Amino acid sequence: MRVKKIEPIILRYPEPNDHDAARMTVLVRLQTTGGALGWGECIAMWPEACAAVAAVIREGLAAEVTGMDLRDLEAIRGKMKARTWWYGEGGIASMALSGIDMAAWDALGRESCQPLWRLLGGRAHDSLPAIASMHMNRETPADNAREVARHVGAGFAGAKLGFGKKGLSPVGGDPDYDADFVAEVRSAIGGDALLMVDIGNGVRWDAATAIYAANRMVEESRIDWIEEPLHPSDLSGLAELRAKSGVRIATGEREFTPDGYARLLAGGCVDVLGVDPGRAEGIGGFIRVARMCEAHKRFINAHAWSTAVTTAASLHLSIATPAAWVFELKPLESPVQHELPETPLWHQAGRIHADNAPGLGVNIRESVLRKYRVGK
């Protein structure tokens, strides 16, 4: 049960959930001596970052890990950490490590005929509420509210509204406009649906603006959390916001290491940690952060907004920790969510389950992989 070969694969694909923008990622295909295939993903996004991640894997980490025993995943992680120590604690190095770590866990599950959630110690949840993770890109508040209501009406348990994204919407430009818009969405979806607001990288608020807007949104619209309301390095601002608002604060999407998440928890500035296993040291990194969240009685939320590989890994990880609360899905059909896997992951009546298929449970269509591959 040893690693035989590791290959990075760069993909470029159109994303309907991002106003049809072209997006990129790096998949990792790991072959074992027993003939199993494991899949991982590195959420590198930009062309130069994807090329760099692929080079780190191809020219460095693959050789380090080849021949190692899959049953000692901690040794594999340690070997990669030692190799990347000189040139990265985060960033490109962490994303490269993430993809290999994820693929190794997948391969181990397939070799041992165990689903990932079982390898992680068993289920903490039978299922989780599925929320539609959406970018607000329609021209008017009414158009956006109708779209959110359509997805909730089709079965989602709620929605997360992404501000400052590509498209026609001015949402994210003015806190009063934004608060009024969120109230319109709440009216459209009803009082029982979950509702999260993702301020995100496209909006730059200061602490005073965030406090004002967050309090309006929670009082008028009963939002469940506000995400990335300030720059992630503004720990004092986030702590002030958390102390002076009545809403949960979510942040962490742009962290890379368990140590980075530990600093957020120590700063008393977060209720929900957003963690992407495709950038934050893979399965091993996510589960370390989940244990911190459990100890601090905080929530963890998987950032699974890429291909079906990361979605599957995020689902198993979320099912395996009591710190998870909800699970995000892209609501519009996407090439890498619905075309790439043989069986797309989807919710049933607003809840999503992880089944008993070995590893991540995702089998990749090679014809689709070739269709979107860069440098074939």
* Strand bridging mode 21-32 / 37-42: antiparallel
For the chain, give the mean pLDDT: 95
Using the CB atoms, write b or e for 107-130: b if 16+ within 10 Å.
bbbbbbebbbbbbbeebbbebbbb
267 is written with which tokens?
A: 């700063």
Residue 103 scores a pLDDT above 80: yes
Task: Note the pLDDT of residue 128.
Answer: 98
Q: Which of 18-22, 47-51, 311-315 has the lowest mean pLDDT?
A: 18-22
Residue 148 scores a pLDDT above 90: yes
136 is written with which tokens?
A: 């607000």
Task: Note the pLDDT of residue 376.
Answer: 64
Among 337, 357, 369, which residue's Cα sits nearest to residue 130? Answer: 337
First to last CA, the chain: 29
Q: What is the pTM of this model?
A: 0.96
Using one digit for the tens of pLDDT, what is the confidence trace for 158-201? 999 998 777 777 888 789 999 999 999 999 999 999 999 999 87
Distance of CA 330 to the CA centre of its chain: 11
Residue 130 scores a pLDDT above 70: yes
Using one digit for the tens of pLDDT, what is the confidence trace for 317-369? 999 999 999 999 999 999 999 999 999 999 999 999 999 999 999 999 999 99
Tell me the C-alpha distance between 41 and 101, whole Å: 9
Residues paired with 132 in a beta bridge: 159, 329
Predicted confidence band of residue 154 (pLDDT cuts 50, 70, 90): very high
